[in-house]
Amino acid sequence: MVRQDQIARALSLFSLLALTIFYVITIALASWALNRAFKESTPGSPVLGSTHGNAATPFLALTTLISGVVGMAAVILGLQHVASWKAKTLIAANAATIIAWALSLLAMGLACREVGLGGRRDGNLRSLEGFVIFLPWVLLVQMVTWQAAMVVQRVEHAPPTTPRMTV
């Protein structure tokens, strides 16, 4: 019989692997967009300019890059938790995931704004926008999985309801 914590552990591992793939692709696309904005900006200008995208593109690239790096740190903590599956590592991994989720929501807002502004966007930039908009939902599944794991661990490790008599 499969226990609930084994199911939660397998689901956590699957979502962590999916998050790793998403974060690697997102970091690569954000790095590309930021590098392109640096290359196309005028020398001596305090503003990052770009001939592709719109005014939100450099902000989206920078915010997504920060969100991706923090998210990868959360994935590393998550893998450590799946390996040990203890309450201490669960708390650390869950806290890091909540921070990564908040940053990815910020990047998602910028991606939605960039889509709303329109402009000349190539396939790489549209792919970045799609990944950034989809990423918080995958993180939400991860957080719900870990919250369920916390509930299961509390139930399994709860003290007995009837007092035991010791002799």
Residue reference for tokens 């969100």: 67
Alpha-carbon distance 134 to 161, whole Å? 43
Which of 24-28, 120-124, 136-140, 157-161 has the largest mean confidence? 24-28
pLDDT at 60 over 80: yes
Q: Which two tokens stand for residue 143?
A: 């957080």
Average pLDDT (129-158) is: 80
Query: How far is CA 54 from each of CA 37, 65, 70, 117, rounded to the nearest angstrom?
Result: 11, 18, 25, 7
Instruction: Report the CATH number at residue 85.
Output: 1.20.140
Helix, strand, coil percentages in the chain from 3-state DSSP, rounded to 5: 80, 0, 20
Alpha-carbon dihedral sign for residues 22, 28, 29, 30: positive
Give the pLDDT confidence score for residue 56 in this predicted structure.
85
List the domain range (segments joined by +) for residue 73: 4-156
Does 161 map to a domain? no
Query: How many CB atoms are closer than 10 A to CB 37?
Result: 21
Q: Work out the average pLDDT over 9-29.
A: 92
Residue 82 resides in a domain: yes
- For residue 165, is it within any domain? no
Q: In the prediction, which pLDDT does 167 show?
A: 61
pTM > 0.95: yes or no:
no
Asked whether the CA dihedral 12, 13, 16, 21 is positive or negative, the reply is negative
What length does the chain have? 167
Which residue in this structure is represented by tokens 């920060």? 66
pLDDT band for 106, please (50, 70, 90 cuts). Answer: very high
Domain tally for the chain?
1
Residue 32 located in a structural domain:
yes
Does residue 143 fall inside a structural domain?
A: yes
150 versus 72: the higher-pLDDT residue is 72
Measured CA to CA, the distance from residue 167 to residue 150 in angstroms comes to 34
Of 64-68, 98-102, 116-120, the range with the lowest mean pLDDT is 116-120
- pLDDT score at 135: 94
Whether 84 is covered by a domain: the verdict is yes
